[in-house]
Structures are given as structure tokens and as C-alpha cells.
Amino acid sequence: MTRPRLKIIPLGGLSEIGKNMLVMEYEDDILVIDAGLMFPEEEMLGIDLVIPDISYLLERRDKLRGIVITHGHEDHIGALPYVLPQLNVPVYSTRLTQGLIRVKLKETRALQDADLRLFSPGEQVELGKFKVEPYPVCHSIPDAVGLIIQTPIGTVVHSGDFKLDYTPVCGKPTDLSRLAHLGAQGSLLLMSDSTYAELPGYTPSEQVVGESLDHIMANAPGRVIVTTFSSLISRIQQVIDAAAKHQRHVFVVGRSMNDTTNMALELGYLKAPNGILGQIQNVRNFPANKIVLVTTGSQGEPTSALVRIANRDHRHVHIQRGDTIVLSATPIPGNESLVNKTLDTLFKQGAHVFYDKLARVHVHGHGSQEELKLLLNLVKPRFFVPVHGEYRHLSLHGQLAESVGITKENIFVLEDGDVLEIGAQSGKVTGKVGSGHVYVDGLSVGDIGGVVLRNRRMLSKDGIVVVIIAVNRQTGKLVGRPDIVTRGFVDTREFKDMLDKSRDILSEALDHASDRAIEWSFVNTKVKDILEKFYYEQTKRRPMILPFMVKV
């Protein structure tokens, strides 16, 4: 009889692997780490969100002991409203993370049935044969944790999203001594954040941003508008601290920024001196050089406060000469052109703008190569699985692990759905489970498949041509010329003659063909063939052709 092995299965990331959900399975117990959402890629037209495919879990619902969340970012908690009603298991997290989960679940009315439980560093939670202990890590949100998981065959460490910051703004520095202690005892497996495995050196401390903000607020002649992610609570703290130092009042603009700020203040994760926070409608009562505004919009999102402010479309705030804008974030890949447009709009209005290319106004929340090597050195795992990153990041992280002495055969660069089985001495990828993506579009989860998306793509390129063909109910013969209506294909006035001609061509072809009564499948194919060819010759475009036959 073979001894039972530990299974590791990353599930659901679009290009990132094991980011949004990861499954650990040992005999009859399953533990899930994180349940996040992904933002749709460019070609997923009209899709709002993408969530992991949890069919593997649904088939093994009785084995599932709980979901453990490492921190409160969307890509780690955002799928809970969709998967929790189906899985119905306890969700473990730290306090701030739970606050953020509550907000999410409330929005979708899934809070009532949710079984949310707290855990804290130093405590151990038993989930079947797994004993899970969170340890504090530094990331761009407070209360983030990594996980130390005792299993029957050894200790597993999951880093969560982390960097090493010895002077963090909120939260505690990563608990290195706990990990060193663990490494000394010997550990089985490390799964570690690979997001910045391409970057040499160390990620700078949040402190450098504090220094930049201090310098900017000291020298700005007028208002300072800082824009960042609403979840970046430590950045908001830095803004408040710098504002306080320079006797400026802080006004939080926008719903999501206000929601998070209030929640973080209530839970004590954000600290503001008395009277420093003002209501946006009172902003006019203060002189410009006593004002700091905090808004979302660092990604150039069209509905965000900053973009509305830049476009003079905001109720309370317009850009005025002398304003200083700080974009305290880097564009997420894909958002560059939106961000650049926003920057240009701000420059055109004469604002001073500080952004990543010009000043140290943002640092990211993931460890660079030296930090990743340090973690590997402390934990000293027998096996290593890089997670959280695109394939090349994982692959490079694997090379780093090899460079610090992990045996090459014990490093597993997985793809989503891969089933890795680990024993005390060896590991092996033994299979693949379904790990597709589930699209969320409007109210519906999962109905959008390849056909709908393919049609949207086709429609988006060259539009549609609808053809109505009337045939005589008795004789089956064509009645009149077919009607043609287009949308998104050509300018119908300029191409009136061409569209007209295509009706003639159709009439002739169908008349000619109809010695016998017109048959639908025949007409359908014939109309598509003729029009596709004709329109392509005339325009080099390929609209979707949609013929209808009506009996009159």
C-alpha cells in the first residue's frame, strides 16, 4: 500500500498561476487558499469579471474543510460572493480582511449565510488533518498573512503576497524569526509569491514614498491631490501623516475610497489626528495650500473621481492652476493608455503632476529577487512551488530557488489545474483537473461561452448585416427585393449604392435559383456566400451576415 500523499492544485488565474485560488488535499481533507477574481482580458468583450472554475471542489464538497484568505485584495477575496453560496464552508481571515469580505458579501446579499471566522498570528486553526497558523507579512494592505500549515507529512509554508519591509507603515514586518525557527526544524514545502521574480535586488520600503509625499506637500503652492487604490490603506495613512505635518486638511473623495477609509478607521487600521479629516462639501472653506484630497483613479478608470475631476465633471472638485497631483500607483498592465490620457488632461490644465516616471511616489507590494532568496534560505524547504505570477515569473523564481540550493527535481513550476502529489521524499505531477475560467457578465455567472464571445468579437470588428427575404407562402418564390439593414459595417449614406447593388445581386441569384420553392438552408448559405464575397471585394471587411426568410 502506498502512503497517502499531499496534493497541491493551483486553480484559476487568467495568466497568473495559483493566484486566485489554490487547493491542498490530503486523504479526506481539502483546504482552499484564497478565492479571488480576475479582471477580464481585452478580448473578453463585455465580460465584467472572471472567477475560478470550482467544479473540482463541488465534486468533493464533503471533503472541504474551509477557505483560508491571505489578505483583502480583490484577486484574493473577490470570488467569494460567487463561490461561497455554492460551497458553504467556513472562511478564515484576519480582522481587516474580514471587514473587506463583509463589504463584498453585503453588496451581493451573500453575507447572511456566510460563516466568517477570525484567526490571528500565533493561533492555530484545525481544518481536518491540516493545522493552519497565519504569520504576519508586509504587503500593500494591512493585516496580510502568510500561512504555516502542518500536514501529516510535514510543514508547508505559503507566503501569500509579500515583501520584506523593515519600516512598514501599517501592520507588522514579516515575521522572519518564526520562519527561521521553522526552517531550522526542517520544512516540507514552500509556495512563494513570484510576482516580481524578474526584478533584481530589494523592493524599497514604503518609507521612501512617505519621504516623497512629505517633500511634495512641503513645496506645493496649492492643493495636493493624491490618487491611489482604495485598498492601499498604508498609503492613505502616509498621506494623512504628511498632511498633518504640513497643517493640511485631508478630504477623501469618492464612494469606495470613503467606504474603505471609514472601515479602516473604525477597525483601527488607519489613524488620523482629530479634526484633520474634512467633508468634501466644505473644501471651499479652506485655503488651497491647506488642502489635501485623496481619490481613486490611479488607473485612469473613466468613472473614478480623479478622471471626473480632470474632465471637469466632478460635483465638488475641479482642477485649478497651482494644483499638484500625485499618482501614487503604477498602471496595471493594460491600463497604460487610460492613465496616460488622464495625465495629459491634467497637464493641459496646468497642474503639476508627479507620477512613477518622475518621482518615487509609489513602491509595489511584492518582494524582488533578493527577498525571494532570503525567504527560501530561511524556510529551507525540501520542495518548492512558485505561485502568484505568470509562467515566466514562476520559471524565473524556480531558477532562483535552484541557485540557492534547492534540488532541481524538487522544484515544480505548475500550471493551473496541474495536480502535484508530494510524499516525504519525492513529488510528481500526476494529472490535470478542470481549471477553466468562469465569466461573469451582468447577473449571469458562467453562461458566456466561446460562441457568444466569438460573435461579440466578430461584431466588434466589422459589424452586422441583417437580410430579410420575403417569399410567397404558396409558390415559395421570392417576393420583391431583399431588405438589408447594417449596423457597425459601413457609413450607410456613403455606401448606399453598394448596399443597393447587393440587394440586386441577391435578388438575381435567388430568383435564378428558385425554379423550385426556396428552401431555407439553401437560402441561408447562398445569401451568406454571396454577400460575404461581394462585401469583401468592395470593402475588404467581413461583417456578420444574418439572413431571415419571411413567408408572405
Of the candidates 71, 139, 362, 366, the residue annotated as catalytic is 366
Q: Do the Cβ atoms of 378 and 183 come closer than 8 Å? A: yes
Among 122, 186, 273, 449, binds a second copy (CB under 8 A): 449
Closest separation in Å from C-beta 139 to a second copy: 22
d(CA 163, CA 173): 9
In 3D, which of 152, 112, 118 has the Cα closest to residue 134?
A: 118
Q: Kindly indicate which of the ranges 5-13, 92-100, 453-461, 524-532 contains the residues binding a second copy, using the contact rule CB under 8 A.
A: 453-461
| Cα angle, residue 15 at apex, residues 12 and 19 outer, rounded to 5° | 45
The three-state secondary structure class of 246 is coil
The yes or no reply on residue 538 touching a second copy (CB under 8 A) is yes
The three cell numbers of residue 401 are 530557488
Strand partners, 249: 291
Q: Which of 4, 15, 63, 526 binds a second copy (CB under 8 A)?
A: 15
Q: Which of 26, 135, 354, 489 forms a contact with a second copy (CB under 8 A)?
A: 489
Q: What do you get for the CA distance between the two ends of the chain, in Å?
A: 75
Q: How far is the CB of 233 from a second copy (least distance, A)?
A: 28
Q: Contact region for a second copy (CB under 8 A) — 107-115, 131-139, 234-242, 540-548?
A: 540-548
Amino acid at 53: D
Query: Could you say which of 60, 271, 348, 501 contacts a second copy (CB under 8 A)?
Result: 348
Q: Do 192 and 376 touch, CB atoms closer than 8 A? A: yes
x-marked contacts with a second copy along 375-404 as a string, rule CB under 8 A: ---------------xxx--xx--------
- Size, binding site for a second copy by CB under 8 A: 69
Window 39 to 68, contacts with a second copy (CB under 8 A): 41-42, 45-46
Q: Pinpoint the alpha helices (H) of 188-311.
A: 207-219, 233-245, 255-267, 305-310
What string marks each residue from 192 to 221 as x (binds a second copy by CB under 8 A) or -?
------xx----------------------
The one segment of 77-85, 97-105, 227-235, 335-343 that binds a second copy by CB under 8 A: 335-343
The answer to whether residue 551 forms part of the interface with a second copy (CB under 8 A) is yes
Judged by beta carbon, residue 176 or residue 452, the one nearer a second copy is 452
**Rounded to whole angstroms, what are the CA distances from 344 to 307, 309, 310, 418, 491?**
11, 13, 10, 45, 32
Annotated active-site residue 48? The verdict is: no
What CA–CA distance (Å, rounded) separates 206 from 169? 7
Q: Which of 452, 499, 505, 509 binds a second copy (CB under 8 A)?
A: 452
517 binds a second copy (CB under 8 A): no
Helix axis angle, 369-379 to 176-185, nearest 10°:
50
- In sequence order, which residues have a C-beta less than 8 Å from that of residue 477 and are 6 or more positions away? 471, 511, 514, 517, 518
Nearer to a second copy, 3 or 540 (CB): 540
Residue 366 among the catalytic residues: yes
Q: How far is the CB of 267 from a second copy (least distance, A)?
A: 32
Of the candidate residues 106, 315, 321, 487, the single one contacting a second copy (CB under 8 A)? 487
Nearer to a second copy, 268 or 334 (CB): 334
476: Cα separation from own chain's centroid: 55
Q: Catalytic: which of 193, 241, 441, 462?
A: 193
Strand order in the sheet with 437-441: 49-52, 437-441, 444-445
Residues 158-187 that bind a second copy (CB under 8 A): none
What minimum distance in Å lies between the beta carbon of 64 and a second copy? Answer: 27
Q: Does position 550 bind a second copy by CB under 8 A?
A: yes
Shortest distance (Å) from residue 129 CB to a second copy: 34
Q: Which stretch binds a second copy (CB under 8 A): 28-36, 85-93, 373-381, 490-498?
A: 490-498
The answer to whether the CB of 9 falls within 8 A of the CB of 56 is yes
Sole binder of a second copy in the list 430, 444, 475, 525 (CB under 8 A): 444
The yes or no reply on residue 451 touching a second copy (CB under 8 A) is yes
Using the Cα atoms of residue 328, residue 331, residue 332 and residue 338 in order, give the sign of their dihedral.
positive
* Residue-wise burial string across 56-79, b where 16 or more C-beta atoms lie within 10 A, e elsewhere: bbeeeeeebbbbbbbbbbbbbbbb
The yes or no reply on residue 420 touching a second copy (CB under 8 A) is: no
For the CB of residue 173, give the shortest distance to a second copy in the complex, in Å.
27
Q: What single-letter DSSP state applies at residue 547?
A: E
Strand order in the sheet with 418-422: 116-118, 91-93, 64-68, 29-33, 21-26, 6-11, 418-422, 427-432
Q: Which residues are catalytic?
A: 193, 366
**Residues found near a second copy in the complex (CB under 8 A):** 15, 41-42, 45-46, 198-199, 333-334, 336-337, 340-341, 343-344, 347-348, 353, 357-358, 390-392, 395-396, 415, 441-444, 447-449, 451-453, 455-464, 466, 468, 470, 473, 483, 485, 487-491, 494-495, 538-541, 544, 546, 548, 550-552
